[in-house]
Structure 1
Amino acid sequence: MIIPVNRYLYVVQSEQISFPYCVSVLVEGSQRVLIDSGCSQEVASELRGRGLDVVINTHFHWDHSRQNQNLGPVEVWCHHLDAPAIRSAENFIARYGFKDFGAEDMGKMFLKYHGIEDRPVHRELNDGEILDLGQVCLRVIHTPGHTPGHCVFFDEYHGILLSGDIDLTAWGPWYLHICSDLDDYISSIEKCRELKPRLVISGHKGIVDQDIQARFLAYRDSILRKEEKILASLQQPLSIEELGALRLFYGPQNQFDSYIQFWERQGVYMHLQRLIKQGRVMEEGNLYYRT
């Protein structure tokens, strides 16, 4: 489904817009550019027929780059900090932390299941660049936290923010791998809010044009609420495994398979590292407790 936003910007949605898919944005300027390629095979075929020139990935994740190689002879652009994880499947999976947490076989299965291989990136982007695409100019804004090289793209003339995985969903920010950074994520959410966009096109929600400021605040606060729950749970020392079993991220409605367990533990780990840095939690052996 291709939905016009104005004469030059179009929202591209497959039937499913949660992982392993996302919302893409088609720019019809002097160049035909697709922001994120996490669409279905059917939608990719339709886009290929239009003749794309460039695919820009907001970040390296599979649900935003899955069709990079299926859209014809296009150039791929990405921020320089995330480009290595697109170019190298080994770098891609290292950023998830499977090996660091003794789950290397799970990482190999993840790559195999999704068919993730080495893929080219032709141009590396930097913060502050202006991408003149003809009738549309997009400012590259580096917004790390979700990944090291995550970027949003701002059409300042029309007040439209292409927000990638600062996605304003009720689920909240996703930071369940070791390359995430919570302090950076919070700062990046605030950076987006301060732009005061008139309209946001979210990577997993589509068009957001109501209560935008409040949505950014609620999105940020979902991080802080989880943090308070972790602190409240540390009335006695607990391990990462015990904290992960609280299921603060995916909740009890999801099957607690090995991957969900892994993501839950990673999310807890990210919070614990931030809390240790703040002096609110200490680690002793494999246990964590409040100071």
Structure 2
Amino acid sequence: MATLRSWAPGGADKPFPASALRWSALLLVAASWVSGAIFGAYILAFFGGTAWQGLAARWNESLPALHDPATPLATAAIGAHFVAGGILLLLGPVQLIGRLRRALPAVHRWLGRVYVLCAGAAGLGGLAFILAKGTIGGPVMSGGFALYGLLMLVAAIATYRHARAGRTDRHRAWAIRLFALTVGSWLYRMEYGFWFMAVGRVGHSSDFSGWFDAIMCVFFYLPNLAVAELFIRARRPASRPALSVAATPVLLAASAFVMVATWFFTTRYWGPGMVSGFTGARL
């Protein structure tokens, strides 16, 4: 898998735009690591904990229509999606640590294999759920989420193929795209939470068929890919300094959003959800 340091300037002799890009990227990865780890722990604790206790029906307390005794295959598929997604959020930032890759390359490679397999499982699990049952939001939501699952599969396969072929630069680029996609489920909840705080439930309906719901069907992953592409292109040797200058504030703004959102969601939702998964208390 790719490393952040391999994308970043290595010394103080680098021009300011490159150094600023490096440090803003490091900040975003650090913030994402902490936030993703907390959210991944929440996913595993709540969804895994309730399933372990034979209370998988409580999944619907978090997101409606996830668990349905009438469609066991769909429930199993979405369960695999959640478990794989939780592992992805815990492992993803680890793969971006350059020192780990250089000190323990075998560990990096094996974690990379696990990461790619989990990405494939998450994508296939989500697609299987959609094919077996569909989503609560109907065709628009099903289409947007299906595209997300397909992109996950494409990015996972491309990341692995280029690594096996020794095409390091392409492998790194696709690994960054894959990481940008894997944080989508985490951002989906954050973005809804901030929207509700800002304007209430404008554009949202209980069956997720409102105009804001339609936007969110793709908004939780397409902007991530755009930021990833901006970073990838800004780090290319032939890129102009202006591209690094443009990318830096985008990364800083994303870091600020992640840090504020992490504090809010951990105290309001994820923390109580982890406790609920272990104790059985309702959300």
Q: What is the TM-score with the length of structure 2 in the denominator?
A: 0.28
Q: What is the TM-score with the length of structure 1 in the denominator?
A: 0.28
- Between 1 and 2, higher relative CO (CA 8 Å, sep ≥ 6) is seen in 2
